[in-house]
Every structure is written in structure tokens, then in C-alpha cells.
Structure 1
Amino acid sequence: MTRRPPLRAIVRRVHLWLGLSIGALFAFAGLTGSILVFYPEIDAALNPALRAVPYDARARSWQAIVDTLHREHPTRTGAWRIEVTGDGGAVPVRYYQPRETAGHDFAPFLAWVDPVRLTTIRIGFWGDTVVTWIYDLHYRLLLEKPGGVVMGIAGIVMLGMIASGIWAWWPRPGSWWRALRFKRDAAPLRRLYDWHKLIGLGGAILVLVVTATGVMLDLPDQTRFVIACASPLYRTPPRAVVARGAPLPVDRLVAIAEHVFPGAALAWIETPASPIGAIRINLAQVGEPSRRFPRTNVWLDPYTGAVLATRDGLAETRGDVVLNWLHPLHGGEALGLTGRILAFIAGLVPIALFVTGLLRWQLRRERRTPQRTIGTRGEPG
């Protein structure tokens, strides 16, 4: 009767084959993720013209920027989203419903406006630039929504791989020091194992957080469904207005919104999608996990300035709090520069684990492969 292998041996075998297969995708996702941690800075570095724009806070008028967009892109009559970066230079703008990419799940028109000279200095579509192409590669493997589902499922398998690695390593009582020690004088096979385990243990928490949040971001519909079962989620009600003459200047509407949430920083301005649409002012309050994508909003009637609705990013339901933290935790923004550095390191851990695991597997194969004997004449026997 054949004796069944112990559970630990089975788990180690599962971990090995998951590492040699899904581990390659894990390493790829980690590398692209590390790049994307600093993608705004990388994009600016690759486009010196954006950094050459002079900055004068007195010259910046949001209404003038909206007028520039309407003048230079007259056929794009829907909603524009203007990003307020706070660091000067060109103003990034997105137009989410371009006709040119109507068949794509997400491919907005991108523009950068010189706020002083009031002209568009760069245009393109999402996926055309280096960093947005890498973003789609990391997020959805360039396969749009189906690719996101694939990455989400792969992420769940990756979580299983991490768990199996910890299970396989977990030391018996009294042997913790030996399990954690790096044996410098050991054989190469043992040193590779020590590097693999210490890198994995050292980065386990970071990798678990980044992977788990990545799964939830890749599977947004499924994530919202599960969370909604435990906590209600915010729903944006329809907000139509009555068109009545010329709309108020955008700068005045921004001032009204800032008065609703004193001390909040302006993050985005979304112009009305139609003559009967509301304008949305997105603000970042101190205490929100994301400065770039906060959840504090004010919807206003663009003709009268009346506040139609608000959303307080600091008074969310528990379910919305979870959703609001996903992206900032995944990219590290929630903890500022320190968090971004940690997220960058977390992306490098899977690469190191894959390389050390692969090298160890190859070395073990070589040691197990019987050497061919050599004949007396120097020929294979």
C-alpha cells in the first residue's frame, strides 16, 4: 500500500507549481505596478514640454481653461474633467466619451492645457502614452474588461500561493530561530531557499495588501456586490437642471463649493455633460485616503449656483470607506511618499521571489539529473 505524502509536502508541491506558473504573472504584475506607483512623475519626465509651462497662480482661471477646451475642441460637447494637481505646470484634462474610442471600455481623450497661454499643448487617447499603456497592461493585460476578470482571478490564485508559501515554511514549536536564520556558509541550494523565504516573509504584509486590493479593483462589480451585502453604498441620484441663459463662471461655482467644505482642497472640476446637467466639484478633505481621487463632492446648478447635492468623504458608510481605501492602499498614496515607496518595494518582491524560486528549482533539477558516463575514449558511454 502506497503511503500518502504528508500535508506539508503536498502544500510545498502546490506552492512550487503555482510559483513556476502563476508566479511569472505575479512578477510581471509587480514590475508594472512598481512603475505605476510614480506614473505621473514618469509621464512628466517623458514630456519636458509639460514641465516647461510657466506657473502663475494669478493667471489661472478655471473658466478660461474651460473656454480654451470649448474653443479648441468644439465637437466635444460633453463633460470635461479638469484635474487640479496643485504643483503648477500644464493642467491635465479628460474627456470620457470621445467618438473615436466609443467601442472601448475605457479610453478617454486626454489633453493638457497651458493655463497661462491658454492653449492645448498635448493631446492623445488613453493607451497611446507610455504610462497609460503600461497601466492598461498592468490592470487588464490590454484586454479591457475580460482582462480585468483574468487578472482578478489570477490575483486570487496569487493569494493562495502566498498562503501556501507561509504554510509550507511555518516552523514547528521551538525551531523559530533556525527557520528565520540565513545560513551564509550553506550550499547554494540552501542559500537560495533562505533568500526566498526571507524575502517572502519580509514583504508578506505589503504583498498581501497590494494583491488583495488589486483583486478588488480588478473585480469591481463583484466587490461592490459583496460589500453591499454587508453595508449600503453611495448611489448618485440623477441631478437635472433647467437651462436658463448663460451659466455662471466656473471660478464662482468653485468658490461656492469650497464654501460648503471649508478647508478642503480642489481636486477635480467636471463640467456639465449637457445643457441640463449639473457641474460637479470634487474636493479633498484632510483625512481622506486619496488626495488625487477623493470622495467629497458638490453638485451645483451651473446657471444659479444652487447646491443640488453633496457627498462628504469623511462621513461615508463602512462599505464606502472600504471602497475609498482600495486605490490609495494599492498605489501607496494613502500613506504619502512613504506609502508610495512601500508600494514600489511591494511590486519588486514578487520578482525576487520568482527569480530565487526558479533558480532553486533549476538547481535541484540539475542535481537530480543523472550524469552520463564518459567512455575510455572520451565519448559518451
Structure 2
Amino acid sequence: MMRRIHLYLGLFLGGLVFLSALTGAALVFYIEIDEALVPGLRDVPSDARPASWQSVYTALQRNHPERTGAWRIEVREQGGPIPVRYHDPVETRGELFAPLMLWLDPRDSSTIRSGFWGQYPATWLYKLHWQLLAGTTGTIIMGIAGTAMLVLLVSGLVAWWPRRGHIRNAFRFKRSAAPVRRLYDLHKLTAISILILLFVVLPTGVMLELPQYARPLLERASPLFASPAIHLEPRGRAALPLDPLVMKAKARFPDGKLAWIETSADATAPVRISLARPGEPSRRFPRTTVWLDPYSGQILAIRDGLSESSGDKVLNWLHPLHAGEVLGLFGRLLVLLTGVGTIFLVVTGTWRFLLRRRRPIHLKRRQRSEGGQEGG
């Protein structure tokens, strides 16, 4: 029964599994690949830093006066080009996620590159992997497909599980066997090799695709953090420069490294500073956050990324685990291996199915009489 479930589910999902694994493997190093394709980014010294963060924001206001909402400035630990996002451009309003993306030269805050997320190669690939280029509908399809892939994985594991006394045979590769048997051995040994990794990548991917279902389930077990609703009274004076606000946030969490600066969305909104602290799973997207009054510098609210509820801890670990970030370069290489291995599973499984369909009828009867030695 499990063999049939595995077979037909694999045939049904094969194309989507192949696409997901291929794009996922490519995305492991998508930032590096993306920046390698832009000569202007490579020309900026890797350790270059801006004179001040206020000078960066002033340049954004000067060059984009029509964009009066919040800017999100990414702060890279190593320096180099400064990535900036504007999350509410009128040009892509209505899309699930399509901010304006800019890269600034830290030496003079000039724009090196600009584009809308999803419209240049690396993010187009990310959009394909995440939502099949179909917005919310695509994320639901991918979430359901990811759940079905888990069933595919479990059914294959159950179908393969060796009987007592046959454990050694279950891990063998028969070099002298017929091609269909060798393909089966390659298929099973590859699956065994990446089994644990798949049981990490698939569930985290499903939860990332379907947060509208994952979050309520987690909240039943543990309260989740809600961003504070802060509304300030407009002042009749100019806001403080960003740099003293950054220093105030860093003084609140002295072990934190600056990760993001989000400017005020309007005259009534706070400035938001994100800091990466030792022990948080993601350096790029940490949870420790400080909300500040842009006029007085007063701290209005904080989020301590090291004192999260159990539900928030689960959410915080999803993306770092799915992308391998949690283990640094080694973790990313493991995720790359998982994607390549999954592609190989699709290829060997499909190839074996086609070979079995083409075999003469007497060989099929012979295999059935041998009692399923291949394990499905």
C-alpha cells in the first residue's frame, strides 16, 4: 500500500518537487550570485562604510522626494554596498511582496543599482520558489505541495523500512544487478543520506509558506509577539539624526550588532532599530528591536530576541533552518546538498518507473514472484 502511495504521489508531484529543489538549491547563495552579476557592486570596497547613517537617509530623501514612507536600511557587518528597501512603492502596490530595492555606495550614498523585488533574476527565482509567480495563490499551492512531499517522504521511508534480518541488504548497492535495481539502490541510498535534512527543510518550508495557518496553531500553545501600535503626536521641530538613535538602541542592548534601521513612515511613526545578538538564530533578520521617538530619542518599546515565548522561538528559527543560515556556510552547503539530492531522487525515481514500464511481461512476473526484494 505504501509503495503505491509513494509511487503515484511521486509521479503526481515530480515536476513540482524538481522545480522546488532546483530553485531552492540555487537560492542558497542567491545574494552572492545576484551581486556577482552587477559590476558596480563589485567595484565598492568590501569594507567601505558610510560617514553616518543620517547621510544615507538624507540622500534617499533627496533622490526620492516622492517616496515619503519608511525606508529600511540594511546594515551589513562586513561593510560594502548598502541594501535599502522601500516597502510601499506605488508601482507594485497590490503585489504580495515587491519593494523597491536600492544599493548605495557607502562612500557618497550614490545609487549603484535599483529595481523592484521579483523583477530582476535572483529575486525572480526567489519569487518562483516561494509563490510560483502567483502571489498568495502560489504560496498556498506550495504549502499544500510541501505537506504532500512530507507524505511522500514518510511513505517512501515506510516502504523501504527493512524487515528483521534484512538490515544489511537494505543499505546495499548491487553493482551487478539490472539497471532498474541499480536505480532503486541509488534512489534509496540518496534518500537515506538526506533524510534528516529533508525532515528539517520540508516542515519549515510549509510553515513559511502558510503563516496564516502556522501562527494561529502556535499561538494556541504560546502567545506570539505583536508589534506595538505606536502613534506619536506630530512635533513642530525636525527629527533627530539617525545616528544618536542608533547609539541609544545599542546602549539598550550593548551585545547587539546593528542589522536594520527603519525610518519613520510619517510624522507620527517611530524609528525602528533591529540588532543581532549572540544566540539569535538569524544574523540578517534578528528579532531584537528598539522603537524610538524620532524627536526626543526616548525608547518607546523593545523586543528582546533572547526572551521570546516558545511560539515565537519556533517562528524565529524557521527561516534560518530552512535556508541553512543557522549553521553558517556549513548549514547552507547542507541545504544545497539537500536540493541536489532531491533533484537526484526525482530523476532516479522517474527513470526507474519508465524502465519498469518498458520491461517484458515475463520479467515483471519474475520480480513479483521474488517477493518485493527491492522494497518498492
What's the TM-score, normalizing by structure 2?
Answer: 0.94
Instruction: Spell out, residue by residue over 1:110-134, the C-alpha distance to the aligned partner (whole angstroms, 9 max, x if none).
Output: 1111111221121110111101000
- Give 1:162's match in structure 2, choosing from 141, 153, 156: 153
Q: Which moved more, 1:176-185 or 1:325-334?
A: 176-185
State the structure with more CA Rg: 1
Contact 1:56 1:116 in 2 (8 A): no
Identity of aligned residues (%): 55
Counterparts of 1:207-356 in structure 2, within 5 Å, are 207-244=198-235, 245-356=237-348
In structure 2, what is the equivalent of residue 48 of structure 1?
A: 39
* Structure 1 residue 370, shift from structure 2 partner: 8.7
* Structure 1 residue 43, shift from structure 2 partner: 0.8
Measured on the aligned residues, the alpha-carbon RMSD in Å equals 1.4
SS at match of 2:119: coil
- Give 2:22's match in structure 1, choosing from 5, 26, 31: 31
Q: Which moved more, 1:86-95 or 1:56-65?
A: 56-65
Instruction: Please state if 1:183 is matched with 2:174.
Output: yes
In structure 2, what is the equivalent of residue 4 of structure 1?
A: none
Contact 2:49 2:79 in 1 (8 A): no
Instruction: Please state if 1:367 is matched with 2:365.
Output: no
In structure 2, what is the equivalent of residue 357 of structure 1?
A: 349
Contact 2:56 2:109 in 1 (8 A): yes
Write the letter of the residue equivalent to 1:13. Answer: R
SS at match of 1:298: strand
In structure 1, stretches of 5+ residues that fail to align are 1-9, 372-381
What's the TM-score, normalizing by structure 1?
Answer: 0.93
Structure 1: how far apart are the matches of 2:268 and 2:304? Answer: 24
Contact 2:261 2:274 in 1 (8 A): yes
In structure 2, what is the equivalent of residue 64 of structure 1?
A: 55
Structure 1: how far apart are the matches of 2:163 and 2:13? Answer: 28
Structure 1: how far apart are the matches of 2:348 and 2:37? Answer: 33
Instruction: Spell out, residue by residue over 1:289-316, the C-alpha distance to the aligned partner (whole angstroms, 9 max, x if none).
Output: 0000000000000001000000010000
Q: Which moved more, 1:362-371 or 1:335-344?
A: 362-371
Structure 2: how far apart are the matches of 1:334 and 1:282? Answer: 18
SS at match of 2:359: helix
Contact 1:62 1:251 in 2 (8 A): yes
Q: Which moved more, 1:242-251 or 1:166-175?
A: 242-251
- Give 2:119's match in structure 1, choosing from 112, 128, 137: 128
* Structure 1 residue 60, shift from structure 2 partner: 3.2
Contact 1:207 1:349 in 2 (8 A): no
Structure 1: how far apart are the matches of 2:163 and 2:47? Answer: 64
In structure 1, what is the equivalent of residue 141 of structure 2?
A: 150
Contact 2:279 2:306 in 1 (8 A): yes
In structure 2, stretches of 5+ residues that fail to align are 364-376
* Structure 1 residue 366, shift from structure 2 partner: 1.0
* Structure 1 residue 59, shift from structure 2 partner: 4.2
Structure 2: how far apart are the matches of 1:348 and 1:137? Answer: 18
SS at match of 1:185: coil
Instruction: Spell out, residue by residue over 1:5-62, the C-alpha distance to the aligned partner (whole angstroms, 9 max, x if none).
Output: xxxxx21011111111202211210110011111110111111211212356564311
SS at match of 2:275: strand
Contact 1:203 1:349 in 2 (8 A): yes
Write the letter of the residue equivalent to 1:321. Answer: K
Structure 2: how far apart are the matches of 1:201 and 1:136? Answer: 30
Write the letter of the residue equivalent to 1:348. Answer: V
Paired residue total: 362
Structure 1: how far apart are the matches of 2:302 and 2:218? Answer: 23
Post-superposition, which runs of at least 4 consecutive aligned residues in structure 1 deviate over 3 A?
Answer: 54-60, 368-371
Instruction: Spell out, residue by residue over 1:227-264, the C-alpha distance to the aligned partner (whole angstroms, 9 max, x if none).
Output: 01111000112112233211111011001000000121
Structure 1: how far apart are the matches of 2:71 and 2:356? Answer: 58
Contact 1:23 1:158 in 2 (8 A): no
SS at match of 2:221: coil
